[in-house]
Structure 1
Amino acid sequence: MPLARIDVAADTSAETVKIIGDVIYEAMTTTANVPANDRFQVVNRHGKDELIYPADGYLGVTYTPKIVFIQVTWNAGRSIEVKKAFYKAVAEGIHERAGIRKEDVWISLIDVQREDWSFGNGEMQYAPTA
C-alpha cells in the first residue's frame, strides 16, 4: 500500500538508487508494519536546475546537490512515534549504506484512506466491509 516517489540528481548511480529504494522498503517493513512484497517505488532523476532547495538551509538543516527527495503515500493511522522511527531509519540507512548525508535525506509522508488504492484490475482491494 505505500507508494514511494524518490527524486535524485541525474548523476546518481544505479547502485545508489537501489540502496535508497531498499532502505525505504526495509524501514517500512520494520518500523511501519508494511507487509512483505508491498514495494511500489517510482524513481525520477533530475538535472541540476530541477532539484530546488533553500541555499541557506531550512530549520537549521543545510543541503547539497546530493539531496534526495522522498515522498511516501501510505495508509493513515500511524502514530507520531512510528513516523519518527521511519524518518530516522531511512536517513540513517541511506547515510550508512550509500554515504549520503542525513541532512540531504528529505522525506514527506502523505496519509490516505485504505479505499484510496487500486492495485490493479480496476478493483478496490481494500474496500470497506459492511
Structure 2
Amino acid sequence: MPLARIDLRKGKDAAYRREIGRVVYEAMIGAGVPLKDRFQVMHEHDADDFLFDAEYLGIHRSDDLVIIQITWNEGRTVEQKKALYKAIAEGLHAAVGLRLEDVFINLVEVKKENWSFGNGVAQYAT
C-alpha cells in the first residue's frame, strides 16, 4: 500500500540508490507494511532543481540530503511513525554512511479506497 518517493541530488551511483530503496522498504516492513508491497520512485535532481534550507530547525543539512515521501494508509500511531523515522535514518547511516541530518522524511496518509494497484480496481475499498 505505500508509495515511496525518494529524491536526491545527481551524482550517486546505482548501488547507493538501490541501498536507499532497500533500507526504506525494510523500515516500512518493520512498521507493518506487507511483504512484497514495494513501490518506489527514485528521482535524481540537478543542484538547481533540489532546493532546501541547510539550517532549518537547527539541523545542519549537506548536499547529500535525501528527501523521502511515503504515501500510505492512515491509522498508524505516533510511536510507529517515530520508529519508522528512526529505522530509516539509522539504516541509511549504516548502509551508505548518510548523515542522520541528511534524512528528511514526510508521511502522507490516505484512506484505503484511494489506491488502485492495477486493472482499474480499488483493491482495498470496502
**TM-score in terms of structure 1 length:** 0.95
Q: Which residue of 1 aligns with 2:79?
A: 81
Q: CA deviation at 1:124?
A: 0.5
1:1-130 to 2 correspondences below 5 Å: 1-30=1-30, 32-55=31-54, 57-128=55-126
Q: CA deviation at 1:72?
A: 0.2
Q: CA deviation at 1:62?
A: 1.0
Unaligned regions of 5+ residues in structure 1, if any? Answer: none
Q: CA deviation at 1:51?
A: 1.3
The one-character-per-residue Cα deviations of 1:22-79 (angstroms, maximum 9, x if unpaired) are 001000111x110000000001010011111113x11120111100000000000000
Runs of 4+, deviation exceeding 6 Å = none
Q: CA deviation at 1:85?
A: 0.1
User: 1-side partners of 2:58 and 2:49: how far apart?
Assistant: 23
User: 2-side partners of 1:127 and 1:61: how far apart?
Assistant: 40
Unaligned regions of 5+ residues in structure 2, if any? Answer: none
Taking only the aligned residue pairs, the percentage that are identical comes to 52
RMSD: 0.7
User: 1-side partners of 2:87 and 2:58: how far apart?
Assistant: 20
**Which AA in structure 2 matches 1:46?**
H
Q: Secondary structure at the match of 1:43?
A: strand
